[in-house]
Structures are given as C-alpha cells and as structure tokens.
Amino acid sequence: MKIPDNNGNPWIAVAAIGGAGFLLAMYIVIGFLGARWLVERFGGPNYWVAIGAIIGLLSGIVNIFVLIKKFLGAQNG
C-alpha cells in the first residue's frame, strides 16, 4: 500500500491517526469475538476471552507501528 505524500497537509496526518485508532479498536473486537466463539464452540475456560482481547490489542499495536513507519517513510522520501 502506497501512502500518498501529504505536502504539509495536516488533515492527512489526522486521517492516519484516526484510522489507526479505528484499526486498534477493530483488532481488539475481533480478538474478543474470536475468543468468545472458541469458548462457546469448544467449551474452553472464560479467560480465553481475555487472552483473545489481549492478542487483538498486541496485533493492533504492531499494525499501527507498521503504519506509522510507512507514513513517516513516505514523508521523508
């Protein structure tokens, strides 16, 4: 995915930050729902839901880190 050059436009930075927050929330929700489905499907312990949410959080943080690296690289290049 190529991130366009923002040419000093602050709205592109705002959109990237807002998108990062949305992505983080989606990763947490997907981790939570996936773990809840596993608990219901296989009868696992309820702490799997917490582990799923934490895995979603960590995955979201990694994704945001990669997004920021690409965004800063597009500004410098």
Alpha carbon distance 39, 58 (integer Å):
20
User: What pLDDT shows up at residue 4?
Assistant: 56
CA distance 36 to 46: 8
Per-residue tens of pLDDT for the chain, all 77 residues: 555 555 667 777 778 778 888 999 999 999 999 999 999 999 989 999 999 999 999 999 999 898 888 877 766 65
User: In this predicted structure, what is the pLDDT of residue 68?
Assistant: 81
pLDDT of residue 18: 81
Residue 20 tokens read as 């990062």
What's the pLDDT at 10? 76
